[in-house]
Structure 1
């Protein structure tokens, strides 16, 4: 195991990961954030350098950690050789197996290999799989004309909006998620449409892997073009800062898939996999 701390090497890694798109996108986004202030206190673990075969981004050991917070305790994975990834997982002190945590990636063997190691350590593994998408914001400009004759405003989210996002997110509704969303809003780009009272009615945020997530419009404001507006505007924001504009969508979310097709996104050949791992001793406390 090697923890990569040299800023020059981290910038080199960022460039190297670009040659392995789209499978390396999650790790690439995490490394970009590390190289731009590291607001989520992440670090990079590799099997070797510079000819690495597996890389994992994880929370820094010295960072304050809630062992039940799988939102913040999230890892991104990319490997050139799946056997190297398994060896890295099995190596002492690479992963903290005593906490509830996530592993994310865009490679097909990720679940089976991770589950095999997790089973040997008595952790429950829950998999969610999504279509992965990439935006081309330079080809479709956000159309703000629908706001010109209304009291609505296009702006960014504030930490005061975190409670609303926590209540409306299918993955939310708990204290860990509330804090996580507040941190995302504080650290990363977001976009929202606000009504005449200043309340968000449609929004999209960016996560710790530079992925667009929790795109949502309140039910009473749907079918008015707001989702398209905030999605394209956030994609533009990320693109203007040099980040790839990427996202995920459930296969069952036909409304969002229709929207994404309408704005010309690329549906990637690989799928996004999110694994939530819970120590058996913690599973009785309820899954977050």
Structure 2
């Protein structure tokens, strides 16, 4: 096991991971954030360097942690050889098995689930599997002007529909975290509230506010550079806000060199329809989030 702490090596790793899209997408997003200030206090573990066969991103040990916070205690995985990944899991001190944690991957690494489950069972951890559709939108640079025009037209149409009480397109603030926690299907608890607050503080977000400054539609970005928690309050739906927010956040990420990626639940038909309308590419896989809980917390 090696912890890559050299900034030059991390930049090299970022470039190398890009050649393994889409399997490496989650790890790539985490490494990109690390190379741009590392606001979420992540680090990279590899089995060897430079000819690595497995990569795991994890929270730095120095970072403040909560043993019940699987949102922040999150690992992203990419491997070229599943045996190397298994060896990392079995090594001492790579994964903190005393915490509630999650392991993420794109779902294109077919053996990850079985290997992770086997190791978790050997350590008497409870395993919960959450699967989503994974979408990716990699717009080419020549389309940037078209996107800008489309966003402008959408905003103008929304303003016209509101007839004077024009919405304001801005970004989220930490004061909005409680609302996001209450409206997120994954939220509603203290750990998620802290996690959302951290995401808002660290990563790009987009928000539409009403004439009183209250959020009515939004989306933000997580530690793996994934667009998440796209939501519009029920009374403000079917007005074009979700499309405006999604396009604006996607363009913001693209302007910083990030791929635009997101996960969507099977039963979220509105979001699936929106993504198809935006011509997002749905990858031929099921995004996996493995949540592992030690017996002491189950």
TM category (shorter chain) comes to over 0.9
Secondary structure, counterpart of 1:197 in structure 2: coil
Aligned length: 283
Of the candidates 116, 120, 143, which is equivalent to residue 118 of structure 1?
Answer: 120
Q: Which residue in 2 is equivalent to 1:48? A: 48
Q: Which residue in 1 is equivalent to 2:92? A: 92
Structure 1: 4+ residue segments shifted above 4 A: none
Secondary structure, counterpart of 2:8 in structure 1: helix
**1:17-28 to 2 correspondence within 5 Å?**
17-28=17-28
Q: Which residue in 1 is equivalent to 2:223? A: 208
Of the candidates 144, 157, 161, which is equivalent to residue 146 of structure 1?
Answer: 157
Q: Residues of 2 paired with 1:233 and 1:136: CA distance?
A: 14
Secondary structure, counterpart of 2:207 in structure 1: strand
Task: Check the 8 A contact 1:166/1:178 in 2, yes or no.
Answer: yes
Q: Which residue in 2 is equivalent to 1:9? A: 9
Deviation at 1:186, TM superposition (A): 0.5
Secondary structure, counterpart of 1:192 in structure 2: strand
Task: Check the 8 A contact 1:4/1:44 in 2, yes or no.
Answer: yes
Q: Residues of 1 paired with 2:63 and 2:262: CA distance?
A: 27
Secondary structure, counterpart of 2:258 in structure 1: coil
Deviation at 1:43, TM superposition (A): 0.3
Unaligned 5+ segments in structure 2 are none
1:199-230 superposed Cα distances (whole Å, 9 cap, x missing partner): 00000000000000000000111111100110
Q: Residues of 1 paired with 2:92 and 2:138: CA distance?
A: 41
Q: Which residue in 2 is equivalent to 1:32? A: 32
1:106-147 superposed Cα distances (whole Å, 9 cap, x missing partner): 122221110110000010110011111112453644222124
Deviation at 1:48, TM superposition (A): 0.3
Unaligned 5+ segments in structure 1 are 284-288
Which structure shows the bigger proportion of residues in helix conformation?
2
Deviation at 1:269, TM superposition (A): 2.0
Q: Which residue in 1 is equivalent to 2:294? A: 279
Task: Check the 8 A contact 2:158/2:240 in 1, yes or no.
Answer: no
TM-score by length of 1: 0.96
Task: Check the 8 A contact 1:147/1:153 in 2, yes or no.
Answer: no
